[in-house]
């Protein structure tokens, strides 16, 4: 079965906004027989698409599948590079592991690794990342920007802005960012970001940006130890969220903002980041490996370093810490 033709049929039916498209039309447009069209329609149905045959009119799409398979994600995807190559697996240890391997094998800029569940999902500071099956989006994006390795942390901040914009667009919820990489709704974490680097003497070979989006979980879907600090978009909005749409929107904003960052620098994105931040202007406690500092979070530098002013008036640059508010 030619997957490109299947994809084109799905795209055509989705874009016709519920109007039926005749089998003959599809056959003419795609240069295949009507029997072939019928086989591709069956293939789409097997993948969870609801397709109605309307007498004398043709085929009409009535339901999209709730999976993260490339066919659904790439249909209607509005990006040029991010998500044009998708490595999809139903289950894996961690999408970060797969993405690192693909990057080493030369996977192109914008390659996305997506899965329905992870058995060893990892978070910052070697923590475990809870990845309930078919309820979230667990993904790693491979980027190959031509920037110095010390700029890598800024990509976490750029990604955070993209995540917030996508959640806003698809759900109407208004998430906030807790420095450096937590996306919160009502004070609970709905998304985590983990940026890892492959670099050598020539600079960045690849950035592996891991994103864990809690989408349709209920409280019981989370491990007991995170139930009080984690949340999902469904728990906050009261409605199930279409995971495909959310991933498409996220990939769109990732491309928009990473290009903006590479072409114009961090200034605009810093303003956006600060506008969504729950940390800036607030009293915080920053726990680091060797010390804990308390003070007011005054802002972030152009390198994404948190500026913390302690009671003695000193300004500290925080590169990595757990922030309590």
Q: Is 127 in the site for ligand BTN (CB under 6 A)?
A: yes
Is 124 annotated in a binding site? The answer is yes
Is 154 annotated in a binding site? The answer is no
Q: Is 163 in the site for ligand BTN (CB under 6 A)?
A: no
Select the residue whose beta carbon is closest to ligand BTN and give its number.
Answer: 192
Provide the token pair at 137.
Answer: 């989006």
Binding part of the chain for ligand BTN, among 65-73, 102-110, 114-122, 294-302 by CB under 6 A, reads 114-122
String of contacts with ligand BTN for each residue 11-50, x by CB under 6 A: ----------------------------------------
Binding part of the chain for ligand BTN, among 39-47, 76-84, 134-142, 300-308 by CB under 6 A, reads 134-142
Q: Is 279 in the site for ligand BTN (CB under 6 A)?
A: no
| Chain residues 84-103 in contact with ligand BTN, contact rule CB under 6 A | 94-96
Is 123 annotated in a binding site? The answer is yes
Provide the token pair at 25.
Answer: 């039309």
Measure the CA–CA gap between 240 and 234, rounded to whole angstroms. Answer: 5
CB 193 within 8 A of CB 156: yes
Q: Is 123 in the site for ligand BTN (CB under 6 A)?
A: yes
CB 304 within 8 A of CB 180: yes
Q: How far is the CB of 178 from ligand BTN (least distance, A)?
A: 10
CB 114 within 8 A of CB 95: yes
Measure the CA–CA gap between 210 and 255, rounded to whole angstroms. Answer: 15
Provide the token pair at 39.
Answer: 């086989």
| Chain residues 179-218 in contact with ligand BTN, contact rule CB under 6 A | 181, 192-194, 210-212
Q: Which is nearer to ligand BTN, 126 or 311 (CB)?
A: 126
Strand partners, 114: 88, 139
Query: What backbone torsions phi and psi does residue 310 show, to the nearest 5 degrees?
Result: -85, 170
Q: Is 118 in the site for ligand BTN (CB under 6 A)?
A: yes
**C-beta neighbour count of 45 within 10 angstroms:** 12
Half-sphere exposure of 32 (CA within 13 A, CB side): 18
**Nearest residue to 178 (alpha-carbon basis) of 193, 197, 196, 168:** 193
Binding stretches for ligand BTN (CB under 6 A) = 94-96, 118, 121-124, 127, 129, 138-140, 181, 192-194, 210-212
Binding-site residue positions for biotin: 118, 122-124, 189
């Amino acid at each position: 079965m030619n997957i490109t033709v299947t994809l084109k049929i799905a795209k055509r039916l989705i874009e016709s906004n519920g109007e039926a498209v005749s089998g003959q039309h599809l056959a003419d447009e795609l240069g295949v027989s009507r029997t072939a069209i019928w086989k591709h329609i069956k293939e789409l149905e097997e993948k969870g698409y609801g397709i109605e045959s309307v007498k004398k009119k043709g085929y009409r799409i009535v339901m999209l599948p709730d999976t993260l398979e490339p066919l659904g994600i790439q249909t209607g995807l509005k990006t040029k590079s991010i998500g044009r190559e998708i490595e999809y697996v139903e289950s894996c240890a961690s999408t970060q592991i797969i993405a690192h391997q693909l990057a080493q094998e030369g996977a192109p800029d914008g390659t996305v690794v997506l899965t329905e569940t992870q058995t060893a999902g990892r978070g910052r500071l070697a923590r475990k990342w809870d990845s309930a099956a078919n309820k979230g989006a667990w993904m790693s994006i491979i980027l190959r920007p031509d920037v110095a390795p010390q700029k890598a942390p800024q990509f976490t901040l750029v990604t955070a802005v993209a995540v917030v914009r996508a959640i806003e667009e698809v759900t109407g919820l208004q998430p906030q960012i807790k420095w450096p990489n937590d996306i919160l709704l009502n004070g609970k974490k709905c998304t985590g970001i983990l940026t890892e680097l492959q670099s050598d003497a020539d600079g960045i070979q690849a950035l592996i940006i891991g994103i864990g989006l809690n989408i349709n979980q209920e409280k019981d879907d989370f491990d007991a130890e995170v139930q009080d600090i984690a949340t999902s978009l469904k728990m906050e909005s009261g409605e199930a969220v279409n995971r495909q749409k959310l991933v498409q929107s996220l990939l769109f904003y990732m491309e928009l903002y990473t290009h903006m960052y590479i072409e114009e620098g961090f200034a605009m994105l810093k303003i956006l980041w600060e506008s969504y931040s729950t940390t800036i202007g607030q009293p915080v406690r920053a726990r680091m490996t060797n010390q804990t500092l308390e003070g007011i979070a005054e802002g972030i530098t152009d390198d994404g370093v948190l500026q913390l002013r302690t009671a003695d008036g000193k300004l500290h640059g925080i590169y990595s810490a757990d922030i309590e508010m």
